[in-house]
Amino acid sequence: MSIEKFSVEKVLSVHRWTPTLFSFTLTRPAHFKFAAGQFARIGLKVKDDLVVRAYSIVSSPYDETLEFFSIVVPDGAFTSNLQHLQVGDELYLEKIPYGFLTLARYQLPLPQDLWLLATGTGLAPFISMLQDFATWENYQQIYLVYSVRTVSELAYVKRIEEIALSFGEGHNGFKFVPIITRDPHAQLHDRLPILIENGELEAAVGQQLNAASSHVMLCGNPQMVDDTKEALKRRGLTMNRRGEGNIAVENYW
Ligand code: NAP
């Protein structure tokens, strides 16, 4: 990995949600342009090696800083070092962003109802998209569905409320739907593919998935992405290719 592909950026803040979940912000160089939903490649010097990982960007394309949401992977070469991050530390940021999980990829069906389905840190790209007024203008219904194991892992809830108030002012089609899979008392506690199959997700948002109107984005656990994709296909939805179709996906790890 050639170091010239990277710029060196400073850590501006670190927020710890739980012992294994944290968010951090970096300085944003003027050359770093991205679309909401894309990811950055971040590098960390471990001994003499540059270890690089992909991170979806939480911040909006208009923000002056770059925010990321991370889990600590036990014994992971990257995050077990990154978890000790402090304000003022330096990280490497690859100069160009990556990824195709962006709303611009949808041409048909025309935007109507948007389903943003995340597990864990896969929430990141959706927070970015929701901080773009165009998202709120283009979609009549927006459902943000966020699956975590325990309620303590439900990060960003306050931020989501604030975003809905400031960006979605006057928009009455937004619903935030948490799923807490290890809490049998939670209103929704089954995994996403099951909730699609048994109709509970649609009941919770008050609308049916529909091949003629739904844009569905999946981000997070790779097995969730695969299983949910199949559940959606069984409902008649199709993968978005060359602009056409309902489903767009990103594995977060
Ligand atoms: P996770 O296991 O991805 O769980 C988060 C949510 O996704 C939970 O509600 C979980 O439900 C659900 N889920 C898991 N598998 C699913 C499936 N096949 N279909 C539908 N839903 C599913 O938890 P996490 O805390 O985000 O990550 C767990 C581990 O993944 C970490 O400890 C780490 O080792 C690894 N990870 C690695 C990276 C990386 O960058 N390498 C990034 C994130 C996570 P259940 O409670 O039913 O399992």
Q: Which DSSP helix (H) or strand (E) runs through 166?
A: helix 157-166
**Residue to mutate, 39, 71, 72, ligand 1, most ligand atoms under 8 Å from C-beta:** 71
- CA-CA distance, 9 to 239, in Å (whole number)? 37
Query: What's the chain's length in residues?
Result: 253
Output helix, strand, coil percentages for the chain, rounded to the nearest 5.
25, 35, 40
pLDDT per residue, tens digit, the chain (253 aa), is 688 999 999 999 999 999 999 999 999 999 999 999 999 999 998 888 899 999 999 999 999 999 999 998 888 878 878 888 999 999 999 999 999 999 999 999 999 999 999 999 999 999 999 999 999 999 999 999 999 999 999 999 999 999 999 999 889 999 999 999 999 999 999 999 999 999 999 999 999 999 999 999 999 999 999 999 999 999 999 999 999 999 999 876 5
User: How many Å apart are CA 229 and CA 226, to the nearest integer?
Assistant: 5
* Dihedral in degrees, nearest 10, Cα atoms 157, 160, 165, 168: -150
Residue nearest to atom 3 of ligand 1 (CA): 221
pTM above 0.85, yes or no: yes
The answer to whether 78 and 51 are in contact (CB under 8 A) is yes
Query: Which residues line the pocket of ligand 1, CB cutoff 6 A?
Result: 71, 73, 119-121, 147-149, 181-182, 191-193, 220-221, 223-224, 227, 252-253
